[in-house]
Amino acid sequence: MSTGHVFQEKNVMKDDSAIVQSQSHYSLVTEHRSSYSSLRLSDHFNRPEIIEEGENFDHLIRGMTTQSQECTDQYFTSEITRYLFRNGKETGQDLRAIDIQRGRDHGLASYNDYRHYCGLHRADKFSDFGDYISQEVPSFIHISFCAKYSGFM
């Protein structure tokens, strides 16, 4: 399942509001394929009642299927890294941080443990990952602290 257009954004200048808005908003589109409004993703997390009003469900689905898909890249849109579950507040939570903590709470093995399980060598230092991760990782972080979620991303 590809979620590139929903949860990921291109590297864009932060002041390019038209591009940023298109990545964090869903268009509401009529049967005649004209967009008349948009919904900001973070305004409606855990608040689905908007789609129960009038023809909004059809208009939202139509908008999602006609909106351009963004290129997939390694970054998540700020809608889920800064504004998740904001419930009208200025800022919200970070889904990546929640997922890392959830993995720790459930006792998931580290990324290094999963590498070993899959037949790859255990890394003693980040440079042992070679082509897998950037060499710009701070040297003060020990390899054992690399969470599965972070490593897989």
Domain end point (choices 28, 51, 81): 81
Can you give the pLDDT at residue 59?
92
Between CA 81 and CA 94 the distance in angstroms is: 4
Q: Do 75 and 100 share a domain, yes or no?
A: no
Expressed as residue numbers, the domain containing 147 is 96-152
Model pTM greater than 0.75? no
Looking at the structure, do residues 19 and 67 belong to the same domain, yes or no? yes
Distance, C-alpha 85 to centroid of its chain: 13
**Residues 14 and 47 occupy one common structural domain:** yes
Read off the pLDDT of residues 67-108 as tens digits, 9 standing for 90 and up: 876 665 567 777 878 888 888 788 888 888 888 888 888 888
Say yes or no: 76 and 100 in one domain.
no
> Domain tally for the chain?
2
60 falls within a domain? yes
Average of per-residue pLDDT across 15-39 = 71
- Both 131 and 65 in a single domain? no
Question: Tens digits of per-residue pLDDT, 75-84?
Answer: 777 787 888 8
In a domain, 86, yes or no: no
pLDDT band at 58 (very low <50, low <70, confident <90, very high): very high
Statement to judge: residues 77 and 100 lie in one domain = no
Residues 47 and 104 in one domain: no
Whether 74 and 126 map to the same domain: the answer is no
What is the percentage of the chain residues whose pLDDT exceeds 90? 2
The answer, yes or no, to whether residue 14 has pLDDT greater than 60, is no
Dist. CA 127–CA 134, nearest whole Å:
8
Domain end residue (candidates: 81, 115, 130): 81
Give dist(CA 68, CA 23) in Å, integer: 10
- Phi and psi torsions of 50, nearest 5°: -60, -35
Query: What's the mean per-residue pLDDT of the chain?
Result: 72
Predicted local confidence at residue 71, as pLDDT: 61
Q: Which of 23, 52, 81 is the last residue of a domain?
A: 81
